[in-house]
Amino acid sequence: MTFNSRVRPAGSSAVALAMTLGCAVAGLWANAAAAQNIGASARVQNNVTGIVAGASSKLAQGSPVFSREVVKTDADASAMLTFLDETNLQVGGASAVTLDKYVYNPDKSAAAAAISLAKGAFRFTTGNSDPRNFTLTTPVAVIGIRGTDFEVINTANTTRVLLFSGIVRVCSRIHPGVCQTLTVPGTFVVVDRRGVVTRPAVAPPGFTRFGEAPPTRQPMEPMRFAGDSGFWQGGFVGAHILGSWSGVQTREDNAATNARNNTFNDSGNGFGGGVNAGFNWRPMGSAFVFGVLADANFLNDNVRRSFPGSGGLFIDSTITFTGNALARAGVLVLPDVLVFGETGVALANQNLRINVGAAPTNGNMLTTGFTLGGGVELAMPGMMLPGLGATSLFVDYRHTWWSLATLNTPAFNYGWARQTDTVQTGFRVKFTTN
């Protein structure tokens, strides 16, 4: 390809003007020489400006382009930039792009390329290089390329990516784990400044900005269980409220003989709240999610045996704190809906009180338990917290079998065998990961 210089023709009769222009050209090419020549402008319409190391000039057809160059177009202008590896970048009107990095292999394929699409409309078509070596960024999105041809439209608050052919992965810039992958020609996603990435949708006729017929509309692929939001991989923290229902069998044994004196069966309930944290694994982008989870809960779950007509005598047990360490496994029935089971160990603080006529006796005891349960979790990619990632809402049910809690008096030994059903609902926030 023949490169034209970026100079205006000088009049032969104006020596001073020629000298001035000569100095300007020398300065321009000195700046350009400091940057790597990476291609040329294959087509230019109306006013297109290139800025290298602070020096600007108009681009014409065949003008060279350089690494770290900024290319800007007027509202009625456009350009086609062709790089040495035959990759093409069309630049629409009122647009600006920075050619941050373009490193070539000896065979002139791109070893690494980074391009910033600051504003406006663009169409990118890969050439003879591995498309995975390209990274395109916009003010709100990061675009990873697996091939071949796609369009990018930047507005004040959004980036829209429309696929013509190949595969493109589009991620939020502020929440890198929130992504979607376009695989069907004629589909698009939109990223906004909050970091939300929409699901792929079919583009309507006339959607493209480059004057061509829209891509052939093909049926959307079935929604994959894998989704692509990135929510189901990585660490999370959360908070929840809970309700509990307990059944307790209280055993009263003679302290001297250990003979069973009485057995009481009672029930009660409680309410509380807690915090949780954990980590999810999603092997090979499958529909299966595995994880670990720990929580701490503060509540008041009281079960009391009263004795009517006794003047207020009672025996009771109150759980004031529980903690759980659980393993869980689930399946994504939809990209953002996880149905899971969980199991693990539990710990509870029980406050035990006896008032049966003698001096009242009370005490606290830590009891261990075994928990089995399950639930549903719904990822909400559009709900973000600054510095973190997308949130989820969840509800789960658990049943816990507690070890025997005991408290002794001089006359009788008491034991509380408790089982508890718990329902929790709350939210979790995913940590962002690159």
**Nearest of 225, 141, 125 to residue 191 by alpha carbon:** 141
From residue 296, give the alpha-carbon distance in Å to each of 293, 308, 325, 346, 404.
11, 36, 9, 10, 21
Q: How long, in residues, is the chain?
A: 434
> Is the whole-model pTM more than 0.85?
no
Residue pLDDT tens, the chain, 434 long: 444 545 433 444 444 444 444 554 444 444 444 568 899 999 999 999 999 988 999 999 999 999 899 999 999 999 999 998 889 999 999 999 999 888 777 777 777 888 999 999 999 998 888 878 888 999 999 998 876 789 999 988 899 999 988 889 998 888 777 888 888 888 899 998 888 888 888 888 777 777 554 555 444 444 333 344 466 888 999 999 999 999 999 999 999 999 999 999 999 999 999 999 999 998 876 789 999 999 999 999 999 999 888 888 999 999 999 999 999 999 988 878 999 999 999 999 999 999 887 778 889 999 999 999 999 999 876 565 555 667 889 999 999 999 999 999 888 999 999 999 999 999 998 875 44
Domains of the chain with bracketed CATH: 15-202 (2.60.120.1440), 234-430 (2.40.160.20)
